[in-house]
Structure 1
Amino acid sequence: MGENEDRTIDERAGNGRDEGLRSSAAFLIDEALGFLFPAALRAAAEVGVADHLADGPRTPAELAAATGTDARALYRVLRLLATRGVVAEDEQGRFALTDAGQALREGVPYSARAAVLMLTDRTMWRPAGELTHCLTEGTTAFEGIFGLPFFDHFAQDERTAAVFHVGMAAMSDAENALIAAACDLPRTGTVVDVGGGHGGLLIEVLRRNPELEGVLYDRAHVLAGHRLGSDKEIADRWTLAEGDFFTAVPTGDVHLLKRITHDWDDDRCVTLLEHCRRALNPGGRVLVLDAVVPRGNDPHQSKALDLMMMGSLTGRERTEADFAELFARAGLRLSRVLPTPTVLSVVEAVPA
C-alpha cells in the first residue's frame, strides 16, 4: 500500500472522528439549552396564558392585552412552548392550548400550574445551578444560598410556605386517587398520613375505604391549609395531629409516608421509620409511597428528582435495595413493592 493510500485512509478515519465529535458537540449544546423550556413554561404559568386560551385560539397581541405583557416577547415564549406541544400555532398566527397543555390552567381538576411554579421557583432553580458544590463539598447547595435548611426556609412565613405546600398539593392531586387504589389497606382501623400536607392522599384513602378512620399528621403551619373538611363523604372519620415526625408519630394500623423519605438522609429516615414501627398496632404496616429508581439507563422521573434532592435537601431517591436496607436498620422488613400508574410505588414494610 502506497503512501498516498495510507494518507487517504488516515484522512477518512480523521474525518469520521471529526464528524462524530461535531455531532456530539451539537447534541450537548442542544441539551445545555434545555433549561430554557421550563423557564418559558414558568413565564407562561405566572402570567396565566393558559386561562386565556380556554375558549379557543388567540393571537399573541390578544393574549398580551389580556395578560398585561409585551406581545413580541410573549410570542417568543409561546413559540418555544409550541415545540414541546404545550400550545400549537395555526396558519393565522394564533395559539391554541393543546390537550397536553390543559392542566396549565388554574382551577381545572388536576391543575399543574401551582406545581410548575413550585418546581421552577428560585428555591429549586438556584440550587440546581450549583450542583458542582454538591460534587465538591458533598453537601446540599440550598443552605449556602438561602441561609436556612430547606424546610426551615419554607416555614419562615406564610407566603413562602405556600409556594411549596400548595405546589406539592397540586403535584399530588393527579396521582392521589391512583396511589390510594394501589394501596392494600385493612377494611377497618386507623390510617396515619405522616407528613401528609394538606390531606389530599388521606381524602382519597378514606373515600375508597368507608370503614377506615384517618389521622393527618404534620406541622401546625402545614395543617392550617388542610382540605379534609371540604369533603362530606369522609366527615367524622378524620382527625388532625400536630407534631414533628422525628420525635414521634400517632398510633395506627397503617402509616403512610408519601414523598417523605426522599427528603432525608438515611439516618433521619431510620429515626422516622423506627417511630412508625413503635407506633404500629399489632399486625400493622408502613407504606412508603415514593419513587423506586429502576435498574438501567432508561429515562425515569426519579433520576431527575434525585438531582433536585441533591441540590436542595439531604435526601435522595432510592432503589428497592436501598429501601430494604433502610427498613432493616429500623427493625422493619420489606415485604413487597407494588407499582402504581404514577412514578411512585408502594413500598411496604412490616415489623421484622
Structure 2
Amino acid sequence: MEISGTTEQMLNRMIVGSWVTQAIYVAAEIGIADLLAGGPRTADELAWETGAHGASLYRVLRALASIDVFREDEAGRFSLTPVGKLLASDAPGSKRSLARMAGAEFYRSWGGLLSSVETGAAAFDKVFGTPFFHYMSANPDRWRIYDDAMTGIHDSETVPVLDAYDFAPFRTIVDVGGGNGLALAAVLRRHPMARGVLFDLPPVAERAREVVGGCDVSDRCDFVGGDFFDSVPSSGDAYLLRHVIHDWDDGEAVAILRNCRDAMRRGGKVLVVETVIPSG
C-alpha cells in the first residue's frame, strides 16, 4: 500500500498532538488569554506579567499562533483570535479550566493508557495512587477547576438537550451527579412548574447551593449530598445523568442505574446524556 504525503502528515499530527495540548495548557495555566483581553502584548511584556522566561514563552506563543489560538503582528505583539478568546476565564463557555486539567491530571493519566489496556485497571489510579474522585476530594482547588471544566463542556449542550427532549411532564427532576447546578437551573427555568433536586457528593452539592442560590429558580431547587452507589433521592419522576455513566465500569454503571430505578416514582424515567462513538 502506498502512503501519500497527506496521509503521513495526518498521522504525524496525531502522534504529536500532545505537543499542542501542552502548549495550550501552558497558556491557560499562566493566564495568557486573560492578559491579552486587555489588548495586544509582546512576549516580553507577558513574561514580565506572568513571571515566565521571555524567550521560551515567545516560542510557545508563536507555536499557538501557527494554529490560530493567538495572532502575532509585525511588531511582535500577540492578540486573541476567536479560538484564543475561549481560553479567557470569563468567556462564555470558557475552556480555560478544561485546558488546565487536560495538560495536568488528564495528561498524566493518559500516559498510563498502556497499563490500562494490559491490566484493565484505571490508569488514573495507577498514576496518582488513588481513584479520581478520591483525589479530587483531597484537592478541593483542583476539584473547582475540574468542575469549571465540566461546566464549560456541558453549557454548550444544555440548550440542545432542552430543545430535543420535553421535560414538561415531570414535576420533580433529580440531577444525579449534577455538578454546580447550572444545567438543572436551565431545565427549571424552561419549565416553571417543575422542582429540582441537585444530588452530588457533599462538597459539590454545597458549592451548587452557592452557585444556584442567586438564581431565579433557587426556591424550586433542593441540594442533597451523598453517594449514588449507596442511594439517590427518592420520589423523583425524572432522573437525569449527564456524563456520569461513562466514568464507571459496567457493574458500577448498572448499580447507579438500579439505584435510580429503585428511587423513582412509578412510571418515572432515567435520562442519560452521554457522548457516543458512532458504530462502524
Fold in common (TM above 0.5): yes
Give the aligned residue type for 2:172: T
Contact persistence 1:245–1:272 (CA under 8 A): yes
Q: Would you say 1:258 and 2:242 are equivalent positions?
A: yes
Residues 193-229 of structure 1: per-residue CA shift (max 9 Å, x gap): 0011111210111111111100001111211211110
Counterparts of 2:22 and 2:170, CA distance in 1: 47
Within-5 A mapping of 1:317-336: none
Residues 227-264 of structure 1: per-residue CA shift (max 9 Å, x gap): 11021x21310101121111211121111000100001
Partner of 1:234: 217
Q: Residues 238 and 91 from structure 1, CA distance in 2 versus in 1: closer, same or farther, beyond 3 angstroms?
A: same
Q: Would you say 1:93 and 2:83 are equivalent positions?
A: no
Percent identity between the aligned chains?
40
Counterparts of 2:6 and 2:195, CA distance in 1: 59
Contact persistence 1:176–1:200 (CA under 8 A): no
Contact persistence 1:207–1:234 (CA under 8 A): yes
Contact persistence 1:177–1:201 (CA under 8 A): no
Structure 2 unaligned spans of 5+: none
Counterparts of 2:49 and 2:194, CA distance in 1: 47
Q: Residues 153 and 55 from structure 1, CA distance in 2 versus in 1: closer, same or farther, beyond 3 angstroms?
A: closer
Counterparts of 1:235 and 1:224, CA distance in 2: 13
Counterparts of 1:191 and 1:42, CA distance in 2: 36
Match of 2:136 among 145, 154, 157: 154
Contact persistence 2:47–2:54 (CA under 8 A): yes
Partner of 2:109: 127
Query: How many pairs align?
Result: 277
Counterparts of 1:100 and 1:24, CA distance in 2: 26
Q: Tell me the SS of whatever aligns to 2:204.
A: helix
Residues 121-177 of structure 1: per-residue CA shift (max 9 Å, x gap): 2x2111211211122212222212211111111112422432322322333233333
Q: Tell me the SS of whatever aligns to 2:266.
A: strand
Q: Residues 30 and 190 from structure 1, CA distance in 2 versus in 1: closer, same or farther, beyond 3 angstroms?
A: closer
* Structure 1 residue 30, shift from structure 2 partner: 4.1
Q: Tell me the SS of whatever aligns to 2:41.
A: coil
Within-5 A mapping of 1:312-351: none
Q: Residues 234 and 30 from structure 1, CA distance in 2 versus in 1: closer, same or farther, beyond 3 angstroms?
A: closer
Contact persistence 2:203–2:225 (CA under 8 A): no
Counterparts of 1:34 and 1:204, CA distance in 2: 35
Q: Tell me the SS of whatever aligns to 2:199.
A: strand
**Quick check: 71-80 or 39-48, which moved more?**
71-80
* Structure 1 residue 22, shift from structure 2 partner: 8.0
Q: Which has the higher strand share?
A: 1
Q: Residues 160 and 54 from structure 1, CA distance in 2 versus in 1: closer, same or farther, beyond 3 angstroms?
A: closer
Within-5 A mapping of 1:16-31: 20=3, 28-31=11-14
Structure 1 unaligned spans of 5+: 1-16, 297-352
Q: Would you say 1:280 and 2:264 are equivalent positions?
A: yes
Partner of 2:127: 145
Give the aligned residue type for 1:88: R
Give the aligned residue type for 2:71: A
Q: Tell me the SS of whatever aligns to 2:99.
A: helix
Give the aligned residue type for 1:219: L
Contact persistence 1:110–1:174 (CA under 8 A): yes
Partner of 2:206: 224
Contact persistence 1:217–1:240 (CA under 8 A): yes
Partner of 1:204: 186
Higher Cα radius of gyration: 1
Counterparts of 1:264 and 1:180, CA distance in 2: 25
Q: TM-score, normalised by structure 2?
A: 0.91
Give the aligned residue type for 2:252: R
Q: Tell me the SS of whatever aligns to 2:274.
A: strand
Counterparts of 1:69 and 1:24, CA distance in 2: 37
RMSD: 2.1
Q: Tell me the SS of whatever aligns to 2:76.
A: coil
Contact persistence 1:252–1:280 (CA under 8 A): yes
Q: Tell me the SS of whatever aligns to 1:255.
A: strand
Give the aligned residue type for 2:124: F
Q: Would you say 1:44 and 2:27 are equivalent positions?
A: yes
Q: Tell me the SS of whatever aligns to 1:225.
A: helix
Partner of 2:56: 73
